[in-house]
A and B are shown apart, each in its own frame.
Chain A
Amino acid sequence: AQKITQTQPGMFVQEKEAVTLDCTYDTSDPSYGLFWYKQPSSGEMIFLIYQGSYDQQNATEGRYSLNFQKARKSANLVISASQLGDSAMYFCAMREGGDMRFGAGTRLTVKP
């Protein structure tokens, strides 16, 4: 069963504006971790941000923040002040125990 759902195949955002990429997940394990990765056209997977299921505050890393709504099982990524270099595929992932599963991804395009 699909445990990570990203419903936006593609998103467009104007340079310097903020954008939210959606992610919902499904688990019955009380302890889990949520991750976002960026994959530019060059192909490497770049870790962006992490949120633990017991963390009380939303994670932030520079221009990235994670809007964690535990009851709704959502972990949306917010990118502020978009830059042209943010154009890439973005993957949400969940780790339960040892393994980590990824969503299908969202392709973000930043317009100048």
Chain B
Amino acid sequence: DTGVSQDPRHKITKRGQNVTFRCDPISEHNRLYWYRQTLGQGPEFLTYFQNEAQLEKSRLLSDRFSAERPKGSFSTLEIQRTEQGDSAMYLCASSRDRRGAGELFFGEGSRLTVL
């Protein structure tokens, strides 16, 4: 088991372009989470999946953000028409389905820079 992997690790793009990040969770984990983290701040919840179902999405998330987990395994996070304010580290995490318990295992993150 190699843990949670994210790709790409770094992405530099111009404002207005679309970007997509991929997350491969730990294989037996059926929950998958996306967070955004800016420098010196805590991870900000974006969305989470249980298997292929997207169960919750942050109200702060604009319509430019979309996430999928089509087969309940890997997930993608797409940002359309990127803005400079989207520059951040995008963290993916996975866990087992266990109410109240079950820590999150984080990937190393995908750093986005929007010029």
Contact = CB atoms under 8 A, between A and B. Distances in A.
Contacts of B44: 102
A3 to B, nearest CB: 10
B87 to A, nearest CB: 15
A98 B106 contact: no
B45 A99 contact: yes
Given A44-B108, A45-B43, A105-B42, A98 B101 contact: no
A32 B31 CA distance: 17
Contacts of A43: 89, 108-109
Interface residues of B, number: 26
What range describes how many residues of A lie at the interface? Answer: 20 to 34
A31 B42 contact: no
B31 A101 contact: no
Interface in B31-73: 31, 33, 35, 40-45, 48, 50, 55-56
Leading 3 A-B pairs by shortest Cβ distance: A45-B106, A102-B42, A47-B103
